[in-house]
Amino acid sequence: MKFYVPPQIPRLALAFAIFITLFLVLRHFLVPDTFGKYGHYRAASLIDNAQPEIHYAGQQACFKCHQDIEDKKAQDVHSEIHCETCHGPGEKHVVSSKVEDILKPSGREFCGSCHIINAGKQKSAINQIDLNKHNVGKNCIECHNPHQPWEMKK
């Protein structure tokens, strides 16, 4: 007599085989193409992440046209501050100079956003101004040229 195989076992095995095959076939079609090329992720996602447009052009782009400002800035304490820190994102303006979305901030509040007194700032990091005492009522840029702060205007 042959070895007895209970009939429910091969039937179940068949059901499981179908299920697993189906899963593997589905998986084959669903796994993204570039998945696993460099690691456990979609390699194409690296390209996706490099895609977004920039808003800040970087100061070298500014200096291509505004060399005068570059020269001026280089001579004073604001030399390390990049243009877009105060003037806002400039990529659109770089692409087409017709787009005039460059900020030209002025006023005590704006300069104060860096220069206001706060115990959190190191003395060496920045000149701190007490806005309540220093030439109250005057706009900073009446005396200071923001590109060259110590070249005082009259």
Partner 1 sequence: MDPHYQHLYDILAHSQGYIFPNEIELQWGILIVVYPFITGLVAGAFILASLERVFKVRILQPTYQIALLTALSFLLVATMPLISHLSQPQRAYEIMITPHSSSAMAIFGFVYLWYLMVVLLLEIWFDYRHSMVVWANEKKGIMKWVYRILTLGVSDISPRTVRWDRKMGYIITVVGIPSAFILHGYVGFIFGSIKANPWWSTPLMPIIFLFSAMVSGIALVMIVYMVITYFRKKVIDLDVLDSIGKYLFFVLILDFTLEGLDQIHRIYVAEESFEIIKLLVSGKLYLTLFIAQGLVGTIIPLITLVFLQFYKHKIRVRKTMYFIVSILVLIGVYSMRWNVVIGGQLFSKSFSGFTSFKVGLIGLDGTLMAAFWLILPIGILAFLLWLLPPWRMVKEEEEI
Partner 2 sequence: MSQSTSAMGNEKIKTSRRKFLKTATVLAGAAIGYSWLKSSQILLFAAEPKDESLPWYGIVIDIQKCIGCGNCAKACKNENDVPAEPFFFRTWIEQYTVKNDGSVNIVSPNGGIDGFKQTVPDEDIFKSFFVPKMCNHCAKSPCVQVCPVGATYVSPEGVALIDEKYCIGCRYCVQACPYGCRFIHPVKKVANKCTLCYHRLKKGLAPACMETCPTGARMYGNLRDKNSDLVKFLKEHTTQVLRPNLNTGSKLFYNALSSEVR
Q: Which residues bind partner 1 (CB under 8 A)?
A: 4, 6-9, 11-12, 15-16, 19, 23, 26-27, 30-32, 35-36, 40
CB-nearer residue toward partner 1: 12 or 143 = 12
CB-nearer residue toward partner 2: 17 or 143 = 17
Q: Among partner 2, partner 1, none, what binds residue 18 when CB lies within 5 to 8 Å by partner kind?
A: partner 2
6 CB burial (10 A radius; 0-12, 13-18, 19+) = exposed
CB-nearer residue toward partner 2: 42 or 66 = 42
Q: Quick check: 59 and 87 in contact, CB under 8 A?
A: no
84: Cα separation from own chain's centroid? 13
| 23-62: burial string, b at 16+ Cβ within 10 Å, e else | eeeeeeeeeeeeeeeeeeebeeeeeeeeeeeeeebebebb
| DSSP state at residue 110 | H
For partner 2, the binding residues (CB under 8 A) are 10, 14, 17-18, 20-21, 24-25, 27-28, 31-32, 35-36, 38-42, 45-46, 48-56, 58-59, 80-82, 84-85, 88-89, 113-114, 116, 118-122, 124-126
Q: How far is the CB of 60 from partner 2 (least distance, A)?
A: 9
